[in-house]
């Protein structure tokens, strides 16, 4: 069985490879999936979650998301001392996964000139820039995610392999219903890790990494995760 660190790293890397991979397939120029639309992206992300959770479930409980880890720590499901292990594995896994997305679509990045489309394959951005509403949206989306995960999780807080499917369907539902405003980061590592990679890569038409917005998909999900944990605890 893989250690929690390796499980979270591999699971999160797979999450990003398939998740941001489908975004790249839809928005970059001259791909077979170009202009596939929002439904393709949300289904791709659902399958990304299914794969990541299935692979990491036995070794770490398949958090793949610092907001989920923080909620589990708050509820006493895992020890505080493990939080840095999970957080670092999730961030590094997200960065590794993004590098593989870039390598896969390297030629398409080279010919795509729209900087916002390029950045969208790495990290999220709001459809309408309103920082307060964007923050609240990420809180709501992550609250729904973590509350759902907490009720789906076994008493040990370790998801069984086949519990990957309901979590994937939950993320699909969040994307379809709540994702239109901010791109539903709902995961600090999912957004921050690839955003760092975007800032470091020598992309031909890179544009800004939009760091002025970057705190929202980090702190919004953390707030939503803790809120879900508090309410879940009160309901028990």
Q: pLDDT for 172-189, tens place per residue? A: 999 999 999 999 999 999
For the chain, helix, strand, coil in percent to 5 are 70, 0, 30
Label residue 236 by pLDDT band (50, 70, 90): confident
* N-to-C CA span, the chain: 31
CA dist 167 and 24 (Å) reads 23
CA dist 7 and 198 (Å) reads 24
Q: Is 216 helix (H, G, I), strand (E, B) or coil?
A: helix
Give yes or no for residue 83 having a pLDDT over 80: yes
Label residue 157 by pLDDT band (50, 70, 90): very low
What's the pTM?
0.95
Give yes or no for residue 162 having a pLDDT over 80: no
Does residue 184 contact residue 126 with C-beta atoms inside 8 Å?
no
Share of the chain above pLDDT 70, in %: 96
Give yes or no for residue 154 having a pLDDT over 60: no
Residue 199's Cβ-count burial label (10 Å; 0-12, 13-18, 19+) is: middle
Give yes or no for residue 58 having a pLDDT over 70: yes
Share of the chain above pLDDT 90, in %: 92
Beta-carbon contacts of residue 198 (< 8 Å; ≥ 6 apart): 98, 118, 119, 122, 123, 206, 209
CA dist 77 and 32 (Å) reads 43
Fold assignment, 4-235 = Glycerol uptake facilitator protein (1.20.1080)
CA dist 178 and 185 (Å) reads 11
Give yes or no for residue 171 having a pLDDT over 60: yes
């Amino acid at each position: 069985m893989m250690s929690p660190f390796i499980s979270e790293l591999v699971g999160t890397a797979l999450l990003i490879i398939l998740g941001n991979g489908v975004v790249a397939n839809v928005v970059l120029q001259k791909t077979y999936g170009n202009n596939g639309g929002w439904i393709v992206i949300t289904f791709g992300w659902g399958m990304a979650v299914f794969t990541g959770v299935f692979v990491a479930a036995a070794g770490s409980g398949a958090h793949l998301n610092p907001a989920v880890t923080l909620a589990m720590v708050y509820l006493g499901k895992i020890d505080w001392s493990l939080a840095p292990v999970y957080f670092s594995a999730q961030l590094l896994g997200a960065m590794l996964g993004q590098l593989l997305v870039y390598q896969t679509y390297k030629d398409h990045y080279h010919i795509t000139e729209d900087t916002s489309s390029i950045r969208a394959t790495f990290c999220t951005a709001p459809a309408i820039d309103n920082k307060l509403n964007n923050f609240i949206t990420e809180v709501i989306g992550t609250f729904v995610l973590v509350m759902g995960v907490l009720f789906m999780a076994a008493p040990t807080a370790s998801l069984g392999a086949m519990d990957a499917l309901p979590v994937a369907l939950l993320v699909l539902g969040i994307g379809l219903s709540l994702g239109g405003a901010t791109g539903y980061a709902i995961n600090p590592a999912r957004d921050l890790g690839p955003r760092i990679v975007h800032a470091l890569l020598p992309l031909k038409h890179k544009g800004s990494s939009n760091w002025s917005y970057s705190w929202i998909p980090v702190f919004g999900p953390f707030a939503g995760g803790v809120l879900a944990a508090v309410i879940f605890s009160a309901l028990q």
